[in-house]
Structure 1
């Protein structure tokens, strides 16, 4: 039987492997662009994109901050409302059957179709962006948390019945702890969707000036054929999404590491 690698070695490998793959990918990308003599206005190489990012850093990072403000606010609202809705569904099967289809409707309705209406109805542009992003991000919280609350072990449920636990005790000591892995799974999905919702809403709103987010910078760069700048904004968005996912993953592991198999060190 092969001995398990030390824990710190496995963690180091988990960080180094994706970085190495990314470096190899960027090297191949740069070589392909250089050897094929592809012009920068069609496909810039990583070096050209890095130069564009450095040259436009103040504008792009301010736009990133603008987009992330909307994302974090929408994510917070989606998490709060989604969790409360799931807890409400857990108290009544009839209520869940009656209202859950409307939560599904929020998920399947294209945000680009209703975002113009929301922006017209809500005069405050930033608030309209938050509402659009919240609509996209809320469903995974409702769905995953509701599933977790309803996925109680039958044996544990019978044990609580045997000890005549109240509804409140059953919820706080059994159903909510059992739903935490599902809840954190929903957080990982919802965080990325909140960012997507903020970007899509910015595309529709076309906000400029001091309130311009990264979506607006991408649009402007595309209109002006500043393709390296457009790629730089796209990479910032991608890195922001990865950072959000990593933050939610870290939060999940810290909350579950001492008792749930999904977060225990192997």
Structure 2
């Protein structure tokens, strides 16, 4: 085990142990607060039924994130090359960002016939703005001296975007990706809870709602554990991507303290 993981593992283990002891010593009923051992047992016993819902949540989360990356980068590139278009369209992106997804989701579910498409759209709305905003800032962050040099050599707009602006914006884009990764998961879960969907093609949010209706608290915690594990996995994935892409040349990764 890497030394950097020792303290986090000890802290997590201590919290779980304290939780276990609290439930056992205080004799808290399982329907109020299940012990971690019971949550683990329930997760193992119900993993077959939860796995399909977990996969559905993963598809919505990463699908929305992929669309957010594609749309955010393309629109940010257009904004970087055209100030008038940025001034005209950026307020629309701000409106999408500040509108609570809980308020918009019921309308989307009315207008979009497919539940899966509606959930994907809701998660995309939540994940889109951080990537757009961070990428725009990154594309604007190129040094003026380098901009002047590219003008001196009569570089085209495409050459400036590809050779100067895009490398400068990469750290900002990855920072936005780390934010949007968690937000896409939150958006998918929130939208599904608002939809109150049921059936085979549903995610973990529906399993949590079903368990709450039946007062199956250990099963709720089991599904929640899968959601938390998914969020941690997303963060670890993009953190590793950041180290791989930026570790050799950018100060945000290469100058990390030990």
**Same fold judged by TM-score > 0.5?**
yes
- Counterpart position of 1:256: 246
Deviation string for 1:52-79 (max 9, x for gaps)?
Answer: 1111111112111111111111111111
Deviation at 1:265? 6.2
The DSSP-based 3-state class of the residue aligned with 1:43 is coil
Please give the TM-score of this superposition, normalised by the length of structure 2.
Answer: 0.95
Alignment match of 1:55 (pick from 33, 39, 45): 45
Unaligned runs of at least 5 residues, structure 2: none
- Counterpart position of 2:176: 186
Deviation string for 1:19-39 (max 9, x for gaps)?
Answer: 221111100111111111111
Choose 159-168 or 32-41, whichever is displaced more.
Answer: 159-168
Distance 1:156 1:17 in 2: 43
- Counterpart position of 1:136: 126
Deviation at 1:155? 2.6
The DSSP-based 3-state class of the residue aligned with 2:34 is coil
Deviation at 1:176? 0.6
Alignment match of 1:122 (pick from 89, 105, 112): 112
Alignment match of 1:209 (pick from 199, 214, 219): 199
Runs of 4+ in 1 over 6 A off after TM superposition: none
Count, aligned residues: 256
Unaligned runs of at least 5 residues, structure 1: 1-10
- Counterpart position of 2:154: 164
Alignment match of 1:148 (pick from 131, 135, 138): 138
Aligned: 1:73 with 2:63: yes
Give the CA RMSD over aligned residues: 1.4
